[in-house]
Amino acid sequence: MRLALAEAEHATLTGDVPVGAVVLGPDGEVLARAHNEREAGGDPTAHAEVLAVRRAAEALRAGAKPDGDDRGAGWQLTGCTLVVTLEPCTMCAGAIVLSRLDRLVYGARDPKAGAAGSQWDLVRDRRLNHRPEVIGGVLDTAASALLTRFFRPPRY
C-alpha cells in the first residue's frame, strides 16, 4: 500500500485526484504502477486501477514465453493482486472482475461511489463469473488524508 500511496502523490502534480494503484504478480513482484491521469491525459477512463491493470497485462505479455499456445496470455491477471488507495468505482470494479485479478486490497472507503462494498459490491456479485478476495481499510487513514488535503478548500 505504501507504493500505491507514493504513486497517488504523483497525481496531484497534474491536478488529478490522488489515487494510486499497484499490481503485484503471484510472486509479489511489482508488475505495474499507476496513478490517476484523467486531467493529465484528458481521458475519463484513466483511473489508477484501469491504468495499472493495462500496464500489468502488457508486462505479462512482454514476459510470455512462446510455447505454442499463448491464447489469452497476458490479459488474465490470475494470481495477481491490485493494491489501490481508494475503493474502486463501478468502472474499475468491472475491470478488476474482467481481468481475473485474484485479490483487491484498498485503503480508504468511498461512501459516494465505492463498488467494493460501500455503495455497491460489484466485485463480489454472485451473478458474475469471477469474484476476487477483497481486503479493505489498509492504511486507510493515510489514504484518506491524501484525499482530504486535495479537496480541502484553500485558506486565505
pLDDT at 18 over 90: yes
Distances (CA, A) of 75 to 43, 55, 67, 93: 21, 10, 17, 16
Report yes or no: 30 and 24 within 8 Å, Cβ to Cβ.
Answer: yes
- Point out the annotated binding site for Zn(2+): 47, 89, 92
Q: For the chain, give the number of residues.
A: 156
What pLDDT, on a 0 to 100 scale, did the predictor assign at position 70?
53
DSSP 122: G
d(CA 50, CA 37): 10
pLDDT band at residue 156, thresholds of 50, 70 and 90? confident
- Could you tell me which of 14, 24, 15, 18 has the C-alpha nearest to residue 6? 18
Q: Is the dihedral of CA 87, 123, 46, 51 positive or negative?
A: positive
User: Partners of 65 in the beta sheet?
Assistant: none
What pLDDT, on a 0 to 100 scale, did the predictor assign at position 73?
61
- Point out the annotated binding site: 47, 89, 92
Average pLDDT across the chain, whole number: 93
Pairing of strands 20-24, 81-86: antiparallel
- Could you tell me which of 37, 56, 12 has the C-alpha nearest to residue 151? 12
What pLDDT, on a 0 to 100 scale, did the predictor assign at position 98?
96
For cell 508488475, what's the residue?
Answer: 31
153 against 23, higher pLDDT: 23
Active-site residue flag, 49: yes
pLDDT band at residue 64, thresholds of 50, 70 and 90? low
Q: Out of 29, 49, 58, 133, which one is annotated catalytic?
A: 49
What pLDDT, on a 0 to 100 scale, did the predictor assign at position 154?
77
